[in-house]
Structure 1
């Protein structure tokens, strides 16, 4: 069974990622901030009030401040439509997905973004071990470097999905997910406005205007914010002040976005100088098909996959750009219909760094797109070992690797 957790699911971690669906139509826009009906609106208001009371009591934030900030919160029927699962006749299409994100306009924008932030990207790469190409690829796939960050007020999005999620089998768990994100948004905005947690039940020193601006900032249809499309929980846990101005602004500061993406990837286990994935050998496709269970878990050793003919010996050799034979991996399956409508699957072997990208957005389509976007920018999908491996398995320094790639880049020059 293929691993197909929708873009929205990863909103738990971030995020979620924007890689947003098509922009809302004029009809959808016309119903933004309008309640479905009076019953829905009444239930929405009651549930929101209860959550605000809980946060106020637990975090010692004055309830009147929260009520004022959410006084104009509304459900967004268009959001409820956007999160509905695809119809039963919908066929997942890896080739169509890839074509949407790895295309000339986005790649051109990626090279321009890299040139504009080259010095800082090099610095972050050296400090974090996360390649500049990966950072640039993620931000490009997410929002085309800030061009598509969403047009919904984040407090309305999260409130709608927390208290008015559409009738689906997983409604209870989805609503709880977004209740948690709504709480995270409140704590994030309260902190940004100068509040302390707990605040000793005092709003003294709080910048009310800034608190409201934070609550009202734009987000994707899933509540993801800024260039890298972080969910509130991820902003609180992984976002960093890259430009050193004393605040984190993922909407306007490319440096904050770059540093935050790198920090997220580092904290989720990115391995310095290691490849992301390997294509399955032609004679190993049947064996790969048997092992593909849709679970993003490192469960097979590279040596086992070599023995089954899924990988070649070179891919288990650090000196040849591969990885150590005992490195763990899993099978990535990317389905698509061919020109005759017949189901086909492209297989890859996902390594630790592939799994790290999956933590950013729980989609195989997304992770492989990031990898291929990065390769189009010059990323070398192989180990950085150039001599006898040291204890870490990597002898080439990240600085040397970075310099080499930047030179190459200059010459050449985000829902499943």
Structure 2
């Protein structure tokens, strides 16, 4: 699935800070430092080449893809040192800033582009909403936050990104897990490009008809610094698992086809548990702030019933009423705290109750900042963050009572039609 967008902000700020703190050493220490760096780079490149070749041989054997095809595709692969810096976690003194994050994405340029995107794709978005149950505004919000509707899809070759992070990840506490993740994504990219070039999986005796040019072109396509591709910024595994042909031209193109991107986002959300007609999150009531602070543990799990949260004053009674835009009292939520530094430097936070659909967005990008930004961006585009369910039968009957007041036949039973989203 797609990367954590807020890390990009933190990493860039960290790079600026490092540049500002650099000092000017003596000429001798400069020379010594350069020698160390060059030796380290040489060792890094050697390990990179060996590890990449090992992976290509493994994929060739397990998937029966000709090794010559793989070697030709990765002949000019290289590490990108700047990527290793971009994926570094923020420094220990860095304070997360929800207000700054929100301002970066929910701003006039993106909103104007979002309204234009909704208008240009109105008919198709309506069709997709009917088929998948995901609101058009939520789909538009995701694509808008990810790439401003294709304006910012990344400038790195995806094979270089994934191979760099798979075999030359910086020394961080989670380095082994991150390297394995990107090794998996690199293999997914190879399989994706193999099928796009005309190959079949498993690849037994399918070398004939394979286009080396198309295979190479797929490997060389642009991506983000984390290997995410196209308008919706899908990782290779997500493209293989969730991307769909929205425009019906027989191929999936997340870079140039808005319809493919729209349908793919909707399919991802549906497959990850999106609940049609249900809201995303609710703001915490002022009276329940202290109770919310005690329950905010950062774990992405639906732990507390809405009825319990109403009892504690965290939510209002209306938010536990389906017919008034809320949810079922026994449905569950989690407390979301979005920190930011106050004007005096003190730690502040905004609090929300995340519902099932909030966690679905978190599956797209594992960041509470991201998920709440999607929710608020969608609302700015016209999304109603409330339940959309049919009226109770008794309400429907009383509101549509026959004007002649004639009794209906006991043998005929009428039921209200469900309102589809």
2:88 aligned with 1:88: no
2:181 aligned with 1:177: yes
Conserved 8 A contact 1:338-1:344 = yes
Matched residue, 1:398: 420
2:234 aligned with 1:227: no
- Cα deviation for residue 307 of structure 1 reads 1.1
Q: Per chain length, whose mean CA-contact separation is higher, i.e. which structure has more relative contact order (CA < 8 Å, sep 6+)? A: 1
Secondary structure, in 3 states, of the residue corresponding to 2:8? coil
- State how far apart, in whole Å, the 2-side matches of 1:51 and 1:205 are: 24
TM-score, normalised via structure 1 length: 0.87
- Cα deviation for residue 385 of structure 1 reads 2.4
2:142 aligned with 1:155: no
- State how far apart, in whole Å, the 2-side matches of 1:195 and 1:235 are: 17
- State how far apart, in whole Å, the 1-side matches of 2:251 and 2:6 are: 26
Query: Max radius of gyration: which structure?
Result: 2
Secondary structure, in 3 states, of the residue corresponding to 2:109? helix
- Cα deviation for residue 304 of structure 1 reads 0.9
Matched residue, 2:200: 196
- Cα deviation for residue 20 of structure 1 reads 7.9
- CA deviation string 1:66-105 (max 9, x = no partner): 0110010000000000000111110000000000000000
- State how far apart, in whole Å, the 2-side matches of 1:35 and 1:249 are: 42
Secondary structure, in 3 states, of the residue corresponding to 1:140? helix
Match of 2:384 among 370, 375, 380: 380
- State how far apart, in whole Å, the 1-side matches of 2:389 and 2:171 are: 52
Give aligned pairs, total. Answer: 377
Cα 1:172–1:110 shift into 2, 3 Å: same
- State how far apart, in whole Å, the 2-side matches of 1:93 and 1:17 are: 15
Matched residue, 1:15: 2
- State how far apart, in whole Å, the 1-side matches of 2:263 and 2:390 are: 28
2:369 aligned with 1:365: yes
- Cα deviation for residue 397 of structure 1 reads 2.2
Matched residue, 2:210: 206
Cα 1:298–1:381 shift into 2, 3 Å: same
- State how far apart, in whole Å, the 2-side matches of 1:170 and 1:123 are: 42
Secondary structure, in 3 states, of the residue corresponding to 2:349? strand
- State how far apart, in whole Å, the 1-side matches of 2:40 and 2:335 are: 43
Pairing 1:168-317 to 2, within 5 Å after superposition:
168-317=172-321
- State how far apart, in whole Å, the 2-side matches of 1:323 and 1:72 are: 54
Matched residue, 1:331: 335
Conserved 8 A contact 2:6-2:367 = no
Matched residue, 2:26: none
Secondary structure, in 3 states, of the residue corresponding to 1:169? coil
- Cα deviation for residue 338 of structure 1 reads 1.2
Conserved 8 A contact 1:20-1:221 = no
TM-score, normalised via structure 2 length: 0.86
Secondary structure, in 3 states, of the residue corresponding to 2:282? strand
User: What residue ranges of structure 2 are gaps of 5+ in the alignment?
Assistant: 20-37, 395-415
Match of 2:47 among 43, 49, 54: 43
Secondary structure, in 3 states, of the residue corresponding to 2:202? coil
Conserved 8 A contact 2:7-2:87 = no
- CA deviation string 1:264-303 (max 9, x = no partner): 0000011111011111111111111111110111111100
- State how far apart, in whole Å, the 1-side matches of 2:78 and 2:155 are: 15
